[in-house]
Amino acid sequence: MALREFRLPDPGEGLTEADIVTWHVKVGDTVKVNDVVVEIETAKSLVELPVPFAGTVSALLVAEGDTVEVGTPIISVDDGLGGAPAAPATPAAAAAPAAAAPAAPAQPAAEEIGEGLIGGTTSTGRTAVLVGYGVKQTEAKRRPRKGGVPEKVEAPDLSAKATDVAIEPVELSGEGVRALAKPPVRKLAKDLGVDLGSVTPSGDGGVVTRFDVEAAASGTSAAAPVATGVDVAPAASRWGLMADAGERETRVPVKGVRKMTAQAMVGSAFTAPHVTEWVTVDVTATMELVDRLKRDKEFKDVKVTPLLVLAKAMCVAIRRNPHINASWDEAAQEIVLKHYVNLGIAAATPRGLVVPNVKDADRMSMRELAAAIGALTATAREGRTQPAEMSGGTITITNVGVFGVDAGTPILNTGEAAILAFGAVNRRPWVVTGADGGESIEPRWVTTLALSFDHRLVDGELGSRYLADVAALLADPSRGLVWG
């Protein structure tokens, strides 16, 4: 047999490390070319990694929750081609006894490999994909263990040679069973001084849950939480942690998307001189348009919201004010005018704030734009936004209105000249001028728009003209027929 190591590939976008989220294979599993074996989280997205060769999994070289650098070996596979003997199993590999392990297959023939090629179906039932372009799924789940209990592992080989791969020890029970638990649960157990190997799991597939750890720490038996119908507090669910009773502080590692967002926002705030302007506008005509489009059979398969009308209005207003769609090149001391609009939509996700963008939004019809925004936001909520979908943005919308917020002062997305905050749309008393010139106070749909811009590129006149044009289009969408 010959062992082949799969190293963490370069995810691109200048990223140098990633977190191991979920292993989809275990030691002894047979894999084909392009089978997805692990899910990782970079600073920008969740990515499914396909293995580049076939064989039998010999060892998982890193554990779930570990942060590893590009080029680090993460899994070894016996390709069955002969050569040096396989390294002995290690605790972190969760290897099954040698006698129970399936025999390593011979190198697949060309037609067999074809089943695992990009776009084909893998031996695990997944669609084979390129790195960075994983199949869209709603959530990452651990593969259930047969019989609902963790598999036993061999005791570590203390006589391993110096050339053997060093593996970080994992929790083992007295019977040699590896405790299965997600990284936040492992951290909780460590903080509470609980030995995971001694905890009786209650989760699906023999997974130790947070409640199991808390019960072990308090000396009581674990019980399933009572369903209350109330969601977990946003901060707790977003960070994957829950505060324990009596704790006054909780420390959360800054990593992944949140780390990248923090760095980008600090860089933007202290590099680009921000200016923010507001305008409050009667958008009753926009709300009426939204109602009509919802009843239009052409839009029956897409979601129509005021955000869609705003997105279209911003693209139309850019044609009248093209210099708002630009970036600052510090090295060359040049202003780069963009002749395309990659419209970013800021989305709050459980992993933090991400800003994917609709490529060439200015060239899309309203129906095409609705479909693109719907797909973009759905992917973001699933945590599957890829780095390419977040790069190259030219201008951004942040919809604070969905939280009931009227306005704010948004920070520019790095490399862009402007960002527009869309406030809550609600009924307010408004002075309306009639056709005869008379005025009356009526309840109208009203919102506030706040535009932040980089004052190096956009002066007050340009920023004001652009914001006024967007507001005018929301007040009377028919202007788009004249301006567009």
What is the pTM assigned to this prediction? 0.56
Asked if residues 145 and 204 have their Cβ atoms less than 8 Å apart, the reply is no
Domain ranges of the chain: 3-159, 179-253, 258-483
What pLDDT score does 249 carry? Answer: 76
What pLDDT score does 262 carry? Answer: 72
Class at the top of the CATH hierarchy for domain 179-253: few secondary structures
455 flagged as catalytic? yes
Asked if residues 63 and 187 have their Cβ atoms less than 8 Å apart, the reply is no
Rounded mean pLDDT for each run of 10 residues along the chain, 484 residues in total: 86 75 91 90 78 91 89 90 48 37 40 37 41 39 44 39 37 53 73 80 76 71 37 43 64 69 72 90 97 94 95 97 93 92 89 87 96 91 81 94 92 91 96 91 97 93 97 96 84
- The active-site residue out of 24, 274, 339, 455 is 455
Asked if residues 322 and 294 have their Cβ atoms less than 8 Å apart, the reply is no
What pLDDT score does 364 carry? Answer: 96
What's the gap between Cα 453 and its chain centre? 26
What's the gap between Cα 365 and its chain centre? 27
What pLDDT score does 243 carry? Answer: 54
What pLDDT score does 466 carry? Answer: 97
SS3 258: helix
Class at the top of the CATH hierarchy for domain 3-159: mainly beta
Domain 3-159 identical in fold to domain 258-483: no
What pLDDT score does 204 carry? Answer: 66
Which residue type does 137 have? Q
CATH homologous superfamily of 258-483 equals Chloramphenicol acetyltransferase-like domain (3.30.559.10)
430: Cβ contacts below 8 Å, ≥ 6 apart = 282, 441, 442, 443, 444, 446
